[in-house]
Structure 1
Amino acid sequence: MGELSVTSQEGRPEATASPIVDEAAPTANTRQNAGWQRGGPARLRSLRSPRRPRIWFEILLIAASYWVYSLVRNAVPEQKAEALHNADWIWSVETRLGIAVEQTVNHAVNSVTWLIVSMNYYYATLHFIVTVCVLVWLFHRHPGRYAAARLALFATTAVALLGYYLYPLAPPRLMNGGHFIDTVLVHQTWGSMASGNFKNMSNQYAAMPSMHIGWSLWCGLTIFALASAPWARILGLLYPALTLLVIVSTANHFWLDALGGMTCLAFGYAISYAWYGSLPHHLPKRVPLPRERSRPAGLSAGTPIRTQRPATDAAARNSSPSGV
């Protein structure tokens, strides 16, 4: 019998195993390292990035925040003597500046019954209704900007509470010898929580700053910056202007109370800018889904993420015999 010899096929490379490499992994590591190199952990950077709002959380947050705001505002001691003294001082300052026309406006508008009654109801209702409507609109149409805008509103309201503590102020209708007309009492409407049957439920000497102006200006600027329809942007600017006329006509605030509300709003926007690194209207309109966030740069939504095919598969095909 002849010798049995085994010959090997030459010219075929020997297959070597190679690990599966995920192309997205280096990107994730690079991003994480970049986050630390820029001075903050990835967790903090994640908290400062806009997120998709959740409806149940926002409802609870807004309800709880307004409850706390009302509780704290009404818990401020009613320092009547100091509040009346501050009102006299505000009135004297406005007189020297030549802007003490609140009494003239109050008497003029009060002479038109249908107008002043409408303003009473405006003062009592739109302050809340419009603000909630703008929040809902942001939630559905501009979710990427919602959190930053909401933070500006909340910070504005929070700093206003400090003003109520530090500077108690009586509204014009409660001034001694001011000859202002309390339009709610005269016309028997419920246009103010600090008049009539509601006066024992609200702090009557928390007029500085005016959150009617702070909130209405927040609504107006938000609508003006983000609305696409020209008529909506115009209404956005008219809303705080009309609110200013209402709070003066009903003798609930001085002009300078409105300036205090504007100052609080500026503080609120500063806090939002410091946290998110941009004003709300400069942020993206929508927040990408988590899967879209994790995609490597250069891939659009809907493009599948591919991994490198193991080298063993190609080697196995090349080394397999042509027939059996």
Structure 2
Amino acid sequence: MGVPTTRTTADRRQDATAQDVTEAPAASAPTRTKPGPLQRLRSPRRPRIWFEIALIAVSYWTYSLIRNAVPEQRAEALRNADWIWATEHALGIAVEQSINHAVNGVTWLVLTMNYYYATLHFIVTIGVLVWLYRSHPGRYAATRLVLFATTGLALLGFYLFPLAPPRLMSGGHFIDTVQVHQTWGSMASGNLAQMSNQYAAMPSMHIGWSVWCGITIAMLAKPVWAKVLGVLYPVTTLAVIVSTANHFWLDAIGGLLCLGLGFAVSCTWYGRLSYRLPRLATNPA
């Protein structure tokens, strides 16, 4: 006969624990939840060329349509111009007229500025968008949103504060350099004036767009010379819009305010500054 053994309470507890461990189902691997529609929209995505071309074309058409549909309130626009001019005198910064007359006396310089004003505003902005699309696809949508939000806010400014440019002021003695020198130029001057709202000077989108281009180039371009050009571009644009009597200094301030709000909209939507997003987008378009 075998020797009887006694099982202690501790032994029985140990057996029960082992049985529980043996019978317990294996822990399931953590499941990855699919991001919701809103989260997908707020994530960097690879842009699609056909969509971007269509979006930019439709957006610019809408911008032009709305801008030119704003009632041309000539009397109010001229009153606002007088107020801006008086405010600048009070601030001691009303030097636009002196600059306008000085530049007009240098023919090659004023002609260059006329063509600069008429062309680079669009060429450089589109060029930066194309460069972003090709070289920084992960940052493209967020940086583009800054530009679009800035422009949308500008449309609101055109409606709420119609403003005549200095060259249209009565008694302002400013020189319309496009008319005087008969150069192909601004859509708001010369023979093309009927195609554009003449009283949409506040805020200045020449400044809003050029500063957007300058910051984007300075933040993302690698060559030092490109960064320098990025800084010089909005500075040169400011000199041009004042010299050709298309804007006051304060119009430029309005453009900067719109751009600042545009960056705020983009940062709020994407959760960070667009330039700090990954350069390459991993999510499909």
TM over 0.5: yes
Where do residues 257-296 of structure 1 align in structure 2 (5 Å cutoff)?
A: 257-288=251-282
Matched, 1:79 2:73: yes
| 1:288–1:197 CA distance, 2 compared to 1 (3 A) | same
Counterpart-to-counterpart distance in 2, 1:44 and 1:106: 50
2:15 matched residue in structure 1: none
Counterpart-to-counterpart distance in 2, 1:156 and 1:288: 27
1:199 matched residue in structure 2: 193
Deviation digits for residues 202-245 of structure 1 (CA, Å, limit 9, x no counterpart): 00000000000000000000000000101100100000000000
- 3-state SS in 2 of match to 1:62: helix
Counterpart-to-counterpart distance in 2, 1:144 and 1:47: 13
User: Match for 2:273: what amino acid?
Assistant: L
- 3-state SS in 2 of match to 1:200: helix
C-alpha contact 2:63 2:155 (8 A) present in aligned 1: yes
Match for residue 225 of structure 1 among 216, 219, 222: 219
1:176 matched residue in structure 2: 170
C-alpha contact 2:45 2:283 (8 A) present in aligned 1: no
Counterpart-to-counterpart distance in 1, 2:201 and 2:154: 10
C-alpha contact 2:207 2:238 (8 A) present in aligned 1: yes
Deviation digits for residues 170-195 of structure 1 (CA, Å, limit 9, x no counterpart): 00000010000000000001221111
**Cα offset, 1:30, TM superposition:** 3.8
Deviation digits for residues 230-271 of structure 1 (CA, Å, limit 9, x no counterpart): 110010000000000000000000000000000000011100
1:105 matched residue in structure 2: 99
Matched, 1:247 2:241: yes
User: Match for 1:256: what amino acid?
Assistant: L
User: Match for 2:155: what amino acid?
Assistant: L
**Cα offset, 1:31, TM superposition:** 3.7
Deviation digits for residues 283-318 of structure 1 (CA, Å, limit 9, x no counterpart): 00001255xxxxxxxxxxxxxxxxxxxxxxxxxxxx
Unaligned runs of 5+ in 1: 1-20, 36-41, 291-324
1:16 matched residue in structure 2: none
**Cα offset, 1:197, TM superposition:** 1.0
TM-score when scaled to structure 2?
0.89
1:256 matched residue in structure 2: 250
User: Match for 1:173: what amino acid?
Assistant: R
2:113 matched residue in structure 1: 119
User: Match for 1:208: what amino acid?
Assistant: M
Where do residues 1-324 of structure 1 align in structure 2 (5 Å cutoff)?
A: 26-27=29-30, 29-32=31-34, 42-288=36-282
Counterpart-to-counterpart distance in 1, 2:269 and 2:33: 20
Counterpart-to-counterpart distance in 2, 1:284 and 1:261: 28
| 1:26–1:181 CA distance, 2 compared to 1 (3 A) | farther
User: Match for 2:170: what amino acid?
Assistant: N
| 1:48–1:26 CA distance, 2 compared to 1 (3 A) | farther
- 3-state SS in 1 of match to 2:111: helix
User: Match for 2:111: what amino acid?
Assistant: V
Greater helix proportion: 2
| 1:26–1:43 CA distance, 2 compared to 1 (3 A) | farther
**Cα offset, 1:200, TM superposition:** 0.6
User: Match for 1:274: what amino acid?
Assistant: T
- 3-state SS in 2 of match to 1:199: helix
Deviation digits for residues 84-105 of structure 1 (CA, Å, limit 9, x no counterpart): 0000000000001000000000
User: Match for 2:89: what amino acid?
Assistant: T
User: Match for 1:132: what amino acid?
Assistant: I
Counterpart-to-counterpart distance in 1, 2:91 and 2:38: 48
Q: List structure 1 runs of 4+ shifted beyond 2 angstroms.
A: 29-32
Deviation digits for residues 139-160 of structure 1 (CA, Å, limit 9, x no counterpart): 0000000000000000000010
Moved more, 261-270 or 42-51: 42-51
Equivalenced residues, count: 259
